[in-house]
Amino acid sequence: MNTELILSTNIQNIDTAYGGVRGTTLSSRHNMRYWQTVVDSGVRAIVELRDEDHSDRLCRMCEIHGIRYVAFPMDSHNVPNEVIAPRLQESFEIIDNGEFYIACAMGLHRTDMALYIYWMFHVADNGMKPPILRGHIADGKLVLDRLNNKVFRRLNSLYAYLMDNNVVHIPDRETFSQRKKDLIDFNRRHIPIV
C-alpha cells in the first residue's frame, strides 16, 4: 500500500494505523474526489464504523473499484455489544492484512475506539504498541473525561459482554486494567505536535 500517496490527499484526519490508514468517511461529498487516489494507493478494504449511512454511496464505490466493504457499526454506547462482538474477528483479520481504510464520520472517536479494541483484544499480547488516540487529544493534551466517557465506556461494557460470550480472546481483569493505563501513558508520551 502506498501510504505516502493516500496521505498526500486532503482527507480530514488521515493518518497511518497498523498497516493501513484511518480518516473521515470516504462517502462524504468532500472526499468523493479522492477515490482514484484511494484506489491507486492500494487500499483493499474499507471498514465503515458509522451505524447509519443514509445512502449506499460508499458500498457502491467500493463495488465499482473492487474494494472490500465492511460495515462495522461502532460507538460509545448506542450500538449494542451483541452487534459489535460478532464482527470483531472479521475486523481484526482486515486490520491484520493491512491495506485498509478505517473510518467514521470524522475519523476520530469511533475510529480510535475500533483501533483500541483491536489492540486490547488482538495484538497487545504480541507486543504491538497501542494506537494514538487522535480524537481524544485537544490542545496538546489527552482529554481523559472524553476518553473515559467514550473509549473506556465501550471497552468496559464490551469486556463484560465478552466475559460471558466467548467470541474473541480477552485478557484477565488485571491485564485489562493495566492495558488501559498503558494506553493513557503511551498517548501522553506520543501526543502528536500539531
Does some domain include residue 109?
A: yes
Q: What CATH number is given to the structural domain containing 67?
A: 3.90.190.10
Q: Which residues pair with 104 in a beta bridge?
A: 24
**Residues written for the chain:** 194
Domain coverage including residue 52: 3-189
The predicted pLDDT at position 16 comes to: 96
Does some domain include residue 194?
A: no
Does some domain include residue 55?
A: yes
C-alpha cell at 57: 454511496
The predicted pLDDT at position 111 comes to: 96
Does some domain include residue 47?
A: yes
Distance of CA 33 to the CA centre of its chain: 23
Does some domain include residue 133?
A: yes
Does some domain include residue 15?
A: yes
Number of domains in the chain: 1
Smallest Cα–Cα separation from 112: which of 59, 140, 71, 153? Answer: 153
The predicted pLDDT at position 37 comes to: 96
Contact between residue 56 and residue 86 where contact means Cβ atoms under 8 Å apart = no
Does the pTM exceed 0.85?
A: yes
pLDDT tens over the chain, length 194 residues: 999 999 999 899 999 999 999 999 998 888 989 999 999 999 999 999 987 665 788 899 999 999 999 999 999 989 999 999 999 999 999 999 999 999 999 999 999 999 999 999 999 999 999 999 999 888 888 899 989 989 999 999 999 999 999 899 999 999 999 999 999 999 999 876 65
Does some domain include residue 144?
A: yes
Does some domain include residue 97?
A: yes
pLDDT tens string 6-41? 999 989 999 999 999 999 999 888 898 999 999 999
